[in-house]
Chain A
């Protein structure tokens, strides 16, 4: 039986492996943090980590992630997560909040690759995550704030 680790817990996958990871997480595991907004890799709302890399769960069939370790917003933990959550709170980032799990998951994968980003690098890394409410400047500020705190 193919299996997958999600937020540290192992699951045997008993459904069609063509099912996108997003709907496995949401409708089978009940993890509702990753969101559906476009379903075609255009918005980033469904971003999760697969073996530490940011991945768009809406276009990732389960067969591509069998045997991997997936982290969703519900399972994000550690220094990076604390820094991001604190920065997001300090900047009061969310408006409707719907895109925010995707923003944070994307930011977290990005910051672990680039711990001291410039504005332009943040814009580039984050430009795939849409926010209809227009929280972009606050997101950018929060990423800088988290980066500062994570500096050794």
Chain B
């Protein structure tokens, strides 16, 4: 099967890194150095003797087993189930025989959205849809061809059904397992025939997840549960102030502690290696460390807020412009303005950062709960000097990623420590280290202005975003692994180093304005500007990234316009949308299902929000009540979504519901603040998460669609904050422009 560009696949989520790094580097592609080569598909199934291995994605055993290789990390989104469903559908497999297997780090398993093996940006289903359908179909065709040969009948007379090839005329049937040997001798077909959408019996159905049993009986192995013979347990103490280096440390107090093997400095802090985690943690608390003074010691959230408020009046870099905004404002009947602000946020995945590594002289094995297998492999290669073919990356179950585990700092630590102590080591961070050494969702200020005409119609829109940009932090980290395979590592890392010097200057803005521009609403005059100001707090990808900020601004301000013009928020939005747009459909559907326009139950108030998340369209209506001290209770959220073809409606509903819980935590409860360069929060007592009694009933309505699938995992996070804030306005007449509401 030839590789072809994927229909409908979106690369817009990231800059085209390869192109950015310069065409000159592409000559390296075919040099294939240090094990950095692309294995043929047959080599990625070394332990499947006697199986049909038509490609890198699926193999069929003589025991009827169907194994689907998943090149994505299972971190709760159900991707193993969804991708297995796609293959099983086209293979016409018996679902009861389908198993999954998480792919090792291999060139074949790169995510085409980033040219590296990574689970991020809700791209898994959209980028896998086409290749996995083809992979399943190819295997099915080979099994049919084998049966046709065996029976000496034309292949056109054969058909398949749930793991069996049938020849109806002669009433013969053979199970896939019985055909494996013969099929394995055939070449993979050049052309594959895909099923008709109408004949799907797996895709689109609410199939139960494949991983439930092991996750409820305690047998699922997460990164933190990995055990390797001879393994030690370690923990790391990081600088309390971002970027501070160790000057000296005194570990005399821990020398006698039972089980403690070694205390030493690593690139990112002080490592403590012991027999058990508890011993390592206890020892870590008894080490005295002197850290070098850091200029970031002066950093505080309050000071940043003042500085950014001052910057609201500064003209920023123009990121999007249409019409003549200035003239429209001059001729306006009235104008309104609002400033919104959002704090830094931590990922706070349930499973703290951890990684197990075993570095030996000529090989290295890593068990990394990561969203970025290639990044993990590259980090290990850099530290050990070994080629990629000597570095095995296993991905266990992951207790929540949300974008944190794209950054592989904790993987590098495990490799560095294992190399130093010459033994397998599991590094586990305490919750406090996890929360204080995150790559945060940036804090940001948004200033919005609108001009209305005499009829209360918005005619112009200005949006200025002030704050740091996560991409300036992350691109230099991502570049070395995103370059084409085969480029020597030295060159990769030079490119990464160069990028870290240049990119922070040229990149800012492109990704920080996502969700702000282009505006979904049809206004003739729009200007979106970005004022880049980065205090240096480490930033990363936080589920839904800049949408989590800009959608709050845009959808809150839309309501402010409605209120100023005395118009219904739904009516105003619909009046600004092309009726044929998907967004119109989801708005109407959510409004209808939530009985928008009818009075809600006593003491309940309604708010709505809608947006386009990279082609996934969502709308939601939230019903809330407001108690003493403005305590908000969200009772019900009715959400409508259009995400193209739905592989599994159960998984979509779970991701929407979970996304709303995640967004609601940030809207109502959690925030990261900084005082004197130190993160103030450390655990769930001061970074509170949503609890069961605070969880609203979430209703999910899916708009049927035959379009290729778009992303779902992050899409719902931004919807809840503006919907709740707008409902709060209906309840109280007061605007929420700063989150979280009840920290």
Q: Is the CB of A133 within 8 A of B693?
A: no
Q: Which residues of B are found within 8 Å of A98, using beta-carbon distances?
A: 222, 349-351, 399-400
Report which of B77, B217, B221, B222 forms a contact with A95, defined as CB distance below 8 A. B77
Interface membership of chain A positions 82-112, coded 1 if the CB is closer than 8 angstroms to chain B and 0 otherwise:
0001001100111111111100100000000
Q: Is the CB of A134 within 8 A of B221?
A: no
Q: Beyond A96-B350, A97-B399, A132-B349, is A72–B218 a contact (Cβ under 8 Å)? A: yes
Q: Is the CB of B278 within 8 A of A130?
A: no
**Max chain B Cβ within 10 angstroms of own Cβ: one of A38, A101, A128:** A38
Q: Is the CB of A97 within 8 A of B691?
A: no
Check: A37 CB closer than 8 A to any chain B CB. Answer: yes
Interface residues of A in 37-66 (CB under 8 A from B): 37-40, 42-43, 45
Q: Is the CB of A133 within 8 A of B400?
A: yes
Q: Is the CB of A136 within 8 A of B695?
A: yes
Q: Is the CB of B662 within 8 A of A134?
A: yes
Q: Is the CB of A134 within 8 A of B212?
A: no
Q: Beyond A27-B278, A32-B225, is A97–B397 a contact (Cβ under 8 Å)? A: yes
Bound CA span A29–B349, Å = 26
Q: Which residues of A are found within 8 Å of B158, using beta-carbon distances?
A: none
Check: B650 CB closer than 8 A to any chain A CB. Answer: yes
* Chain B, residue nearest A43 (CB): B684
Q: Beyond A95-B76, A130-B684, is A89–B650 a contact (Cβ under 8 Å)? A: no
Query: Size range of the interface on B?
Result: 35 or more
Bound CA span A118–B695, Å = 16
Check: B364 CB closer than 8 A to any chain A CB. Answer: no
Bound CA span A126–B690, Å = 12
Q: Which residues of A are found within 8 Å of B215, using beta-carbon distances?
A: 94, 97, 100
Interchain Cβ contacts under 8 Å between A and B, 19 examples: A28-B276, A40-B431, A42-B683, A89-B212, A92-B208, A92-B650, A95-B654, A96-B351, A97-B216, A97-B397, A101-B216, A127-B691, A128-B691, A132-B400, A134-B657, A134-B658, A136-B661, A137-B657, A138-B654
Check: B277 CB closer than 8 A to any chain A CB. Answer: yes
Q: Which residues of A are found within 8 Å of B214, using beta-carbon distances?
A: 97
Question: Closest approach, in angstroms, between the C-beta of A103 and any C-beta of chain B?
Answer: 9
Q: Is the CB of A132 within 8 A of B348?
A: yes
**Max chain B Cβ within 10 angstroms of own Cβ: one of A16, A23, A85, A95:** A95
Q: Is the CB of B212 within 8 A of A133?
A: no
Bound CA span A72–B241, Å = 39
Q: Is the CB of A94 within 8 A of B695?
A: no
Check: B532 CB closer than 8 A to any chain A CB. Answer: no
Q: Which residues of B are found within 8 Å of A99, using beta-carbon distances?
A: 350
Question: Closest approach, in angstroms, between the C-beta of A84 and any C-beta of chain B?
Answer: 8
Q: Which residues of A are found within 8 Å of B220, using beta-carbon distances?
A: 97
Check: B398 CB closer than 8 A to any chain A CB. Answer: yes
Interface membership of chain B positions 287-298, coded 1 if the CB is closer than 8 angstroms to chain A and 0 otherwise:
000000000000
Q: Is the CB of B352 within 8 A of A37?
A: yes
* Chain A, residue nearest B695 (CB): A136
Q: Is the CB of B278 within 8 A of A20?
A: yes
Q: Which residues of A are found within 8 Å of B54, using beta-carbon distances?
A: none
Q: Beyond A39-B431, A89-B216, A98-B350, is A130–B208 a contact (Cβ under 8 Å)? A: no
Q: Is the CB of B693 within 8 A of A127?
A: yes
Q: Beyond A98-B399, A132-B350, A140-B692, is A32–B217 a contact (Cβ under 8 Å)? A: no
Q: Which residues of A are found within 8 Å of B684, using beta-carbon distances?
A: 38, 40, 42-43, 130
Check: A8 CB closer than 8 A to any chain B CB. Answer: no
Q: Is the CB of B399 within 8 A of A126?
A: no
Q: Is the CB of A133 within 8 A of B658?
A: yes
Binding site for B on A (CB under 8 A): 16, 19-20, 23, 26-28, 30-40, 42-43, 45, 72-74, 85, 88-89, 92-101, 104, 122-124, 126-140
Interface residues of B in 678-708 (CB under 8 A from A): 683-685, 689-693, 695, 697-698
Bound CA span A73–B213, Å = 12
Q: Which residues of B are found within 8 Å of A139, using beta-carbon distances?
A: 692
* Chain A, residue nearest B206 (CB): A92
Report which of A40, A96, A124, A133 forms a contact with B661, defined as CB distance below 8 A. A133
Q: Is the CB of A92 within 8 A of B431?
A: no
Q: Is the CB of A32 within 8 A of B221?
A: yes
Q: Is the CB of A96 within 8 A of B683?
A: no
Q: Is the CB of B350 within 8 A of A37?
A: yes
* Chain A, residue nearest B654 (CB): A95
Q: Is the CB of A134 within 8 A of B227?
A: no
Q: Which residues of B are found within 8 Å of A23, using beta-carbon distances?
A: 276-278
Check: B38 CB closer than 8 A to any chain A CB. Answer: no
Q: Is the CB of B399 within 8 A of A130?
A: no
Bound CA span A96–B209, Å = 11
Interface membership of chain B positions 345-375, coded 1 if the CB is closer than 8 angstroms to chain A and 0 otherwise:
0001111100000000000000000000000
Q: Is the CB of B431 within 8 A of A38?
A: yes
Bound CA span A116–B290, Å = 57
The 5 A-B pairs with the shortest beta carbon distances in the complex, nearest first, are A134-B661, A33-B218, A98-B399, A97-B215, A96-B76
Q: Which residues of A are found within 8 Å of B550, using beta-carbon distances?
A: none
Q: A89-B216, A140-B692 are in contact. List 14 more A-B contacts (CB 8 A).
A: A23-B276, A23-B278, A35-B350, A36-B428, A73-B217, A89-B212, A99-B350, A104-B216, A123-B692, A123-B693, A127-B693, A133-B658, A133-B662, A138-B654
Bound CA span A88–B215, Å = 10
Q: Is the CB of B431 within 8 A of A130?
A: no
Q: Which residues of A are found within 8 Å of B219, using beta-carbon distances?
A: 33, 74
Q: Is the CB of A36 within 8 A of B352?
A: yes
* Chain A, residue nearest B398 (CB): A96
Report which of A31, A72, A89 forms a contact with B213, defined as CB distance below 8 A. A89
Question: Closest approach, in angstroms, between the C-beta of B149 and any C-beta of chain A?
Answer: 41
Q: Which residues of B are found within 8 Å of A135, using beta-carbon distances?
A: 654, 658
Q: Which residues of A are found within 8 Å of B209, using beta-carbon distances?
A: 92, 94
Question: Closest approach, in angstroms, between the C-beta of B130 and any C-beta of chain A?
Answer: 26
Check: B78 CB closer than 8 A to any chain A CB. Answer: yes
Interface membership of chain B positions 564-580, coded 1 if the CB is closer than 8 angstroms to chain A and 0 otherwise:
00000000000000000
Bound CA span A61–B400, Å = 28
Q: Which residues of B are found within 8 Å of A138, using beta-carbon distances?
A: 654
